[in-house]
């Protein structure tokens, strides 16, 4: 994890916050007095996913990027549940501890459900939300390649033994190939079986079954969206095979007044395919 080829892309000071299950890693850049942008990643990424946004916006505005438990540079506790509810609880505790207010919440992938769960629990702390290729509601569709990674012991072997989920993501999530140093940055925290516990548990926690441990939590978050009254910006990579334009349509149905921009030639890692367009629109939205 000391490889300068990717470290040079992520030169930010590491910070940690203690929660009952362990230490959460985060970066906090920019003027401390400013209203914060809080970035929440998904699976199998980490705060590195937001490196360009942090670098471009932090000279003018405070930007915080948090690693979920088991991901990135955060701890890997064996006893942690790794459920949606507990990731939400950790994020609420983090926001409360740092006393973040007037937050611009930026969410991607699993960050959508976690972030909206936090926003519904602490609406008074939220100013606006930026949604990128994510969901906070149930759609009864799971791509076969993800279903395979979720298939019991075989799925765990693919995900933790072969690092198939994280490695696959470095080639399947963008429409333009990622440079070698960027791939290295995405994979750096996930070097062995133990360090991939968070990736595996995020895959396991996709609540497809009616009796799944996180189905009720997701249903509660989905129900809460109808009462959420903050401004929403939807930025979408239209060539995402996982969070397809159907998901964007679901967000638009729930937030018909949202500002929407479709990036027609971008994939799931929207900010990798269209960094300048994404960052410019977030800056406009927060100004």
Query: 282 pLDDT band (50/70/90 cuts)?
Result: very high
Question: Which residues of the chain form beta strands (DSSP E)?
Answer: 15-19, 22-29, 37-40, 63-66, 103-109, 126-134, 232-237, 259-263
Distances (CA, A) of 91 to 64, 84, 241: 12, 11, 28
* Token output for 10: 């992520």
Summarised one tens digit per residue, pLDDT across range 172-225 is 999 999 999 999 999 999 999 999 999 999 999 999 999 999 999 999 999 999
Q: For residues 236 and 10, what is the distance between their CA atoms, to the nearest angstrom?
A: 24
* Token output for 227: 């009462």
Angle, nearest 10°, between helix axes 111-121 and 84-97? 60
Structure confidence at residue 287 (pLDDT): 87
Would you state the torsion angle of the CA atoms of residues 138, 226, 240, 8, taken in this order, to the nearest 10 degrees? -110
Nearest to 7 by CA among 127, 173, 185, 142: 185
pTM across the whole model? 0.97
Structure confidence at residue 3 (pLDDT): 53
Q: For residues 149 and 159, what is the distance between their CA atoms, to the nearest angstrom?
A: 6
**Within 13 Å of residue 198, how many CA atoms lie on the same side as its CB?**
26
Judge whether 248 and 241 are in contact, CB under 8 Å.
no
- How do 232-237 and 126-134 pair as beta strands? parallel
- State the chain's mean pLDDT as an integer: 97
Mean pLDDT along residues 267-282 = 98
Compute the C-alpha angle 196/43/95, nearest 5°: 105
* 3-state secondary structure (DSSP) of residue 114: helix
Summarised one tens digit per residue, pLDDT across range 2-34 is 457 899 999 999 999 999 999 999 999 999 988
Q: What is the domain count for the chain?
A: 1
**What range defines the domain where residue 63 resides?**
4-286
* 3-state secondary structure (DSSP) of residue 101: coil
The CATH number linked to 169 is 3.40.50.1820
């Amino acid at each position: 994890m000391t490889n300068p080829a990717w470290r040079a892309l992520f030169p930010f000071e590491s910070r940690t916050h203690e929660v009952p299950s362990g230490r959460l890693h985060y970066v906090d850049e920019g003027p401390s007095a400013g209203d914060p942008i809080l970035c929440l990643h998904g699976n199998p990424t980490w705060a590195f996913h937001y490196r360009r946004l942090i670098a471009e916006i932090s000279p003018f505005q405070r930007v915080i990027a948090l690693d979920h438990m088991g991901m990135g540079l955060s701890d890997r506790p064996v006893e942690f549940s790794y459920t949606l509810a507990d990731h939400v609880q950790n994020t609420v505790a983090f926001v409360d501890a740092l006393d973040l207010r007037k937050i611009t919440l930026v969410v991607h992938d699993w960050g959508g459900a976690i972030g909206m769960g936090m926003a519904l629990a602490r609406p008074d702390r939220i100013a606006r939300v930026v949604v990128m290729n994510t969901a906070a509601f149930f759609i009864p569709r799971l791509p076969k390649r993800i279903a395979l990674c979720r298939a019991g012991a075989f799925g765990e072997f693919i995900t933790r033994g072969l690092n198939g989920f994280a490695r696959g993501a470095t080639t399947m999530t963008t429409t333009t190939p990622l440079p070698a140093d960027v791939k290295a940055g995405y994979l750096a925290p996930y070097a062995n079986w133990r360090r991939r516990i968070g990736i595996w548990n995020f895959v396991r926690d996709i609540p497809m079954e009616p009796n799944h441990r996180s189905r009720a939590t997701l249903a509660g978050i989905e129900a809460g969206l109808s009462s959420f009254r903050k401004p929403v910006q939807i930025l979408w990579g239209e060539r995402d095979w996982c969070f397809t334009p159907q998901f964007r349509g679901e967000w638009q149905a729930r937030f018909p007044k949202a500002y929407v921009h479709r990036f027609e030639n971008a994939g799931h890692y929207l900010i990798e395919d269209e960094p300048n367009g994404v960052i410019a629109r977030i800056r406009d939205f927060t100004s």
